[in-house]
Amino acid sequence: MAQPRKAMKALGFQGCCLRCDAENVSGLKRCKSCIDYHKLVKNMILENDDSILIQHMKDLYAMLSNPEMFDVDEVHGKELLFQQSLIAEVDFDEGYVYPEEISDLFGKSENVERRIMEDLVNKNPWKNNPPSKDVVRLIGLETWSEDELSSLEYDGRITKPSKDIQPTSKEERLGEDITIKINDSAEVDEKIKEKQNQKRVWQDLVDDILDDI
């Protein structure tokens, strides 16, 4: 039995290490490949909505992460009890330490992104006092080309288009714009195909993980 790798414990996948027959040697390419794969799985979960399949994946990870909390499960209970027996063979000086709660683990990425944004805001020199008009003008000159600036008229408060926008009347239309409906329908069909492809990918991932349990 391989000793759980710290990276796998941090991801909540230490149960996979307990069942692995890899040598208990650090720096194995096999371990690196496995860690990279499971990082990819976690990122895919974080980037998708909470569909039924995603929730099922999170439930499986929670079981692997804290088997003693779910060993009464009718389907996976026996396997989780077996995992707890494997933990007894872990050779850690401080004993086996469970990783963070799986729910906190999934929320960590969002917290990190939020802290980064807060740091950026705190470092903003104009956080408390807005820049002067001259500074704003200089920023505009550095950001937009002369052609773009020439199409804008500054009054010190807002920008106004120099060209008048001709109003249009829906009453002048003879009927419904069929092309809009056709385009909308095509977009819906494309989104459905995309969701179906995502579902197949997740189903394959679930099958792979269940095969390893």
Segment 190-200 shows an average pLDDT of 77
Q: At what angle do helices 29-46 and 178-212 cross, to 10 degrees?
A: 140
Question: What backbone torsions phi and psi does residue 157 show, to the nearest 5 degrees?
Answer: -125, -55
Q: Strand, coil or helix: what is 196?
A: helix
Q: What is the predicted pLDDT for the residue at 95?
A: 45
| Stronger pLDDT, 62 or 168, i.e. the higher one | 62
Q: What is the predicted pLDDT for the residue at 94?
A: 46
Q: What is the predicted pLDDT for the residue at 70?
A: 86
Question: 4-8, 26-30, 42-46, 181-185 — which is least confidently predicted?
Answer: 181-185
DSSP state of 69: G
Question: Using one digit for the tens of pLDDT, what is the confidence trace for 114-167?
Answer: 565 665 556 666 666 776 777 667 666 666 666 655 555 555 555 555 556 666
Closest by CA position to 4, among listed 63, 76, 87, 70: 87
pTM, 2 dp: 0.39
* In the chain, domain spans: 6-120, 129-166
Question: Using one digit for the tens of pLDDT, what is the confidence trace for 34-87?
Answer: 888 888 887 877 777 677 888 888 888 788 878 888 888 888 888 888 888 887
